[in-house]
């Protein structure tokens, strides 16, 4: 491979691992050093000394003895190192609280993996996971370009926003989406990244007051104030200034234990590039267009030099969505889209699972880059409930560096060059800075060594699309967003690439770093179609309707409920039915399944019972209808007159009466 391309590929990989690598390192019982923030080259996960103290996030059970025995202020959160340590015979140190029942704990001389095993046995612990470092999504192994190439913008401009054609198969057709909506200034997309350069003219008026969480969980054993300040690189710990001071790493720093394993690199300005793709000022006669047009960006800094810890990222996620974080001022501008162009290898942890669920409860959608190693999708992109984004080339095939697997939701343009030498033809244009270390001045990425390439930049195109969807339907839930993105995605191409390109295979231990034809089991449901996804939000909702028989229900007689009269909007289908009793639940019950088009109600007492039917279509839209049924008493039994014993049956009496009449007529 061309030497310059190899260098660029390494840089791309570094960016992806800058946030992700810490997880895999700590899973081996090592403490990873700070996140690397260079999507320009693949960063190997930082490797710190084996004797580094263990660091975990622990959640206590509701009503746990430790919480009852030790009073604590709700605002401060739990600080249970002493109580838990005495029970286990360990020397533990408190870290920051993340909620009223969760906190960071450290153990000097004990690995994170060993600390997880020890705490998992404690009866007061609901779950415990390693507090691992995550890294900016690293740069690709795709053929890149020499460092000495001319710094010109891609000749094709912002090809990824236009309508797709035979050349730009993966273009997302944002132009057609803008015909329906340009979003709105009240729509907020949070960018959890390396921070932002607010002086860039194309971001003027687009940035909201954010927060810097780098150093949030310091000081603590193994994470001293000095270390945190070195990683933060801005002279302060967590504060209300999310500006990016630069995340460069020198060769001298890489030779120290503090930055051991961190690759030498220039500053990436990664967060500024992500923000520009989402919401650069549009239709202002200068610079570039942002895919979300009128949306605002909430900058949340969670990555410093060489990355950031899970606890800081999770705290940033919660704060960005408007949830309370102990010790941090509330966020006045909650975001409904959370962009995470970061991650690492390994399974999704309970800490991320809980955070994603909490964000879903407030209808905040989490979008995560799949990663750039050509391997299986790692955390947090593999967490249930997130939108996981793989990267494709301009031709719609998987770009070699993109991670893949069944966890991927869909694919979007990630940038590629198309040749081994010369300018990068199909990079993604975005906002940046010219500084190689500290900021120097605003710029735009080019077709040269700073070309914007990686799944880190596919994710913001999806985040921008979600924001446009929310402009049409502000109440759309993350589950509905995911369903709509999947159902409106365009099919992957299966031909048209060069000779030797085959179908992508399931991820394995060896990187699948060559171009391949995406499948629905490797790259998600298809190619991002911004226009169709936005249009799906303006379609009519389904209509729920049902009948019941008999029309006059009675005790002891089953009632058949039938939802066949429910309908879906044109072009959609009903995929789910759910029956429920919302009033009078003691008077009747269901005698069978409640998730089919029909259901059976069994009345047991007289009175009124309200039955509800919820129908859901293939885009996740729902509609609810209800009816009140009046349950009547069972009919009174008819008396039966027995013969003998001085009594006669009704039939016998009727016969006697008839005989009397006949005899009377004869006498006359």
pLDDT tens for each residue of 25-50: 223 222 233 322 333 332 333 333 33
Q: Residue 363 CB: number of other CB atoms within 10 A? A: 18
Residue 270 designated active-site: yes
CA distance 372 to 370: 7
Q: Do 331 and 350 share a domain, yes or no?
A: yes
Residue 136 placed within a domain: no
Q: Do 294 and 275 share a domain, yes or no?
A: yes
Catalytic residue, chosen from 456, 463, 487, 566, is: 456
Q: Do 361 and 468 share a domain, yes or no?
A: yes
Q: Do 169 and 251 share a domain, yes or no?
A: yes
Q: What is the pLDDT of residue 573?
A: 81
Last residue of a domain, one of 508, 535, 562: 535
Instruction: State which residues of the chain have pLDDT below 50.
Output: 1-51, 71, 73-74, 138-149, 643-648, 652, 667-668
Question: Under 8 Å CB-to-CB from 248, ≥6 apart: which residues?
Answer: 265, 266, 267, 305, 436, 437
Residue 42 placed within a domain: no
Q: What is the pLDDT of residue 233?
A: 96
Q: Do 432 and 565 share a domain, yes or no?
A: no
Residue 9 placed within a domain: no
Q: Do 359 and 297 share a domain, yes or no?
A: yes
Last residue of a domain, one of 509, 535, 561: 535
Q: Do 280 and 350 share a domain, yes or no?
A: yes
Q: For residue 211, which of 113, 322, 363 has the smallest C-alpha distance?
A: 322
Last residue of a domain, one of 535, 558, 590: 535
Strands (E), 66-153: 93-99, 102-107, 125-130, 133-136
Q: For residue 396, which of 523, 507, 583 has the smallest C-alpha distance?
A: 523
Which residue(s) pair with 369 in the sheet?
389
Q: What is the pLDDT of residue 621?
A: 66
Residue 34 placed within a domain: no
Residue 20 placed within a domain: no
- Pair of tokens at residue 644: 């003998």
Q: Do 487 and 508 share a domain, yes or no?
A: yes
Task: Indicate the pTM of the whole model.
Answer: 0.75
Q: What is the pLDDT of residue 69?
A: 57
Question: Under 8 Å CB-to-CB from 151, ≥6 apart: which residues?
Answer: 446, 447, 448, 450
Q: Is 517 helix (H, G, I), strand (E, B) or coil?
A: strand
What is the secondary structure of 201-217 as a DSSP string? Answer: GGGTTTB---EE-TTTT
Say which CATH number the domain at 172 has.
3.40.50.200
- Residue 306: which region, alpha, beta or left (left: phi > 0; alpha: psi -120 to 50)? left
Catalytic residue, chosen from 270, 310, 450, 463, is: 270
Q: What is the pLDDT of residue 48?
A: 39
Residue 193 designated active-site: yes
Q: Do 195 and 248 share a domain, yes or no?
A: yes
Q: Do 471 and 604 share a domain, yes or no?
A: no
Catalytic residue, chosen from 193, 202, 212, 433, is: 193
Q: What is the pLDDT of residue 36?
A: 29
Exposure string over 582-591, b if 16+ CB within 10 A, otherwise e: eebeebbeee
For the packed helices 310-320 and 350-361, what is the interaxial angle rounded to 10 degrees?
10
Q: Residue 239 CB: number of other CB atoms within 10 A? A: 17
Residue 653 placed within a domain: yes
Do residues 237 and 224 lie in contact, with contact meaning Cβ atoms separated by under 8 Å?
no
Q: What is the pLDDT of residue 137?
A: 60
Q: For residue 393, which of 405, 375, 411 has the smallest C-alpha distance?
A: 411
Q: What is the pLDDT of residue 402?
A: 96
Q: Is 11 helix (H, G, I), strand (E, B) or coil?
A: helix
Q: Do 500 and 554 share a domain, yes or no?
A: no
For the packed helices 310-320 and 3-27, what is the interaxial angle rounded to 10 degrees?
90
Number of domains in the chain: 3
Spatial strand order of the sheet with 342-343 comes to: 308-309, 133-136, 342-343
pLDDT digits (tens, 9 = 90+) for 443-494: 999 988 888 999 999 999 999 999 999 999 999 999 999 999 999 999 999 9
Say which CATH number the domain at 594 has.
2.60.40.10
Residue 88 placed within a domain: no
Residue 265 designated active-site: no
Residue 283 placed within a domain: yes
Question: Under 8 Å CB-to-CB from 189, ≥6 apart: which residues?
Answer: 278, 279, 292, 295, 296, 297, 298, 335, 336, 337, 338, 339, 463, 464, 467
Q: Do 508 and 565 share a domain, yes or no?
A: no
Do residues 371 and 403 lie in contact, with contact meaning Cβ atoms separated by under 8 Å?
yes
**Residue 586 domain boundaries:** 547-631
CA distance 204 to 181: 21
Cα distances (angstroms) measured from residue 252 to each of 256, 264, 389, 435, 590:
7, 9, 36, 19, 71
pLDDT digits (tens, 9 = 90+) for 643-652: 444 444 555 4
């Amino acid at each position: 491979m061309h030497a310059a391309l190899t260098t660029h590929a390494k840089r791309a990989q570094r960016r992806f691992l800058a946030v992700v690598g810490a997880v895999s390192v700590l899973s081996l019982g090592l403490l990873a050093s700070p996140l690397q923030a260079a999507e320009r080259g693949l960063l190997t996960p930082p490797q710190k000394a084996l004797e580094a103290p263990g660091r975990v996030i622990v959640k206590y059970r509701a009503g746990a003895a430790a919480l009852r025995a030790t009073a604590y202020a709700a605002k401060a959160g739990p600080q249970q190192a002493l109580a838990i340590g005495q029970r286990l015979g360990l020397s533990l140190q408190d870290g920051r609280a993340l909620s009223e029942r969760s906190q960071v704990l450290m153990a000097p001389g004990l690995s994170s993996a060993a600390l997880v095993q020890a705490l998992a046995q404690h009866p007061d612990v609901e779950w415990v996971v390693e507090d691992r470092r995550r890294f900016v999504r690293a740069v690709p192994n795709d053929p890149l370009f020499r460092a000495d190439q001319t710094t010109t913008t891609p000749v094709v401009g912002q090809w990824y926003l236009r309508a797709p054609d035979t050349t730009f198969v993966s273009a997302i057709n944002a132009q057609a989406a803008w015909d329906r909506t340009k979003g709105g200034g009240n729509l907020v997309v949070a960018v959890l990244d390396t921070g932002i350069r607010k002086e860039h003219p194309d971001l003027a008026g687009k940035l909201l007051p954010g927060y810097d969480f780098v150093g949030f969980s310091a000081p603590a054993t193994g994470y001293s104030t000095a270390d945190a300040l070195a990683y933060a690189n801005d002279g302060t710990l967590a504060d209300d200034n999310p500006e990016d001071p630069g995340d460069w790493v020198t060769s001298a720093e890489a030779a120290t234990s503090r930055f051991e394993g961190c690759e030498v690199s220039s500053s990436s300005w990664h967060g500024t590039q992500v923000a520009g793709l989402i919401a650069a000022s549009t239709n202002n006669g200068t610079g570039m267009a942002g895919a979300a047009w009128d949306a605002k960006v909430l900058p949340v800094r969670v990555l410093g030099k060489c990355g950031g810890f899970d606890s800081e990222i999770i705290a940033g996620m919660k704060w960005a969505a408007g949830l309370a974080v102990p010790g941090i001022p509330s966020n006045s501008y909650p975001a409904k889209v959370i962009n995470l162009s970061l991650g690492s290898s390994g399974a999704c942890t309970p800490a991320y699972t809980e955070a994603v669920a909490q964000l879903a409860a407030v209808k905040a959608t989490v979008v995560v880059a799949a990663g750039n190693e050509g391997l299986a999708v790692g955390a947090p992109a593999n967490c249930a409930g997130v939108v996981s984004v793989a990267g494709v080339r301009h031709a719609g095939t998987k770009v070699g560096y993109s991670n893949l697997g069944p966890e991927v939701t869909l694919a979007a343009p990630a940038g590629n060059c198309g040749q081994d030498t010369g300018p990068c033809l199909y990079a993604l244009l975005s906002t940046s800075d010219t500084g190689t270390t500290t900021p120097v001045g605003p710029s735009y990425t080019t077709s040269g060594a700073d070309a914007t390439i990686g799944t880190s930049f596919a994710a913001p195109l999806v985040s921008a699309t979600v924001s446009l969807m929310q402009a049409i339907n502000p109440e759309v839930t993350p589950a509905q967003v995911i369903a709509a993105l999947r159902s409106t995605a365009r099919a992957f191409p299966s031909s048209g690439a060069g000779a030797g390109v085959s179908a992508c295979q399931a991820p394995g231990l060896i990187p699948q770093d060559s171009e391949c034809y995406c499948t629905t089991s490797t790259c998600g449901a298809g190619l991002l179609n911004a226009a169709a996804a936005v249009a799906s939000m303006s379609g009519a909702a389904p209509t729920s309707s049902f009948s019941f028989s008999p029309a006059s229900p009675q005790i002891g007689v089953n009632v058949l409920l039938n939802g066949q009269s429910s309908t879906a909007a044109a072009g959609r289908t009903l995929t789910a039915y759910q029956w429920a009793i919302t009033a009078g639940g003691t008077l009747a019950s269901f005698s069978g399944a409640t998730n089919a088009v029909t259901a059976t109600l069994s009345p047991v007492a007289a009175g009124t019972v309200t039955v509800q039917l919820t129908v859901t279509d293939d885009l996740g839209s729902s509609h609810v209808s209800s009816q009140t049924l009046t349950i009547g008493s069972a009919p009174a039994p008819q008396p039966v007159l027995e013969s003998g014993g001085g009594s006669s049956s009704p039939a016998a009496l009727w016969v006697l009466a008839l005989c009397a009449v006949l005899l009377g007529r004869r006498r006359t």
